[in-house]
Amino acid sequence: MQCQAHYTIINKLGLHARAASQLASLALKFDAKVTLTQDDKSAEADSVLALMLLESSQGKEVLVQCEGPDAEQALIAIGQLIEAKFNEGE
């Protein structure tokens, strides 16, 4: 199965180390390949360093693509994490 959705990074600090770590940990819970794309850069969601290299700051839009048996569940969970501002409250 394959699915994708666009999300806007809304937390104040963007996809910094702590947020990237949360996203990578979440992605690893699913049997799915998760890729984030911003502009001309892509990153595997299970790599904190790759996610940080996207330089996703507040207001940037990312495309989340999931492929595999758990693709739909992974997409929903990652979307919820982004929309919850990575649980940072800002």
**Overall size of the chain counted in residues:** 90
| Residue 34, token pair as written in the block | 């998760």
Give the bridge partners for 8, in sequence order. Answer: 61
Q: Do the beta carbons of residue 23 and residue 78 sit within 8 Å?
A: yes
6 tagged catalytic: no
The catalytically annotated residue of 16, 18, 60, 85 is: 16
* 3-class secondary-structure state, position 67: strand
Catalytic positions, written as ranges: 16
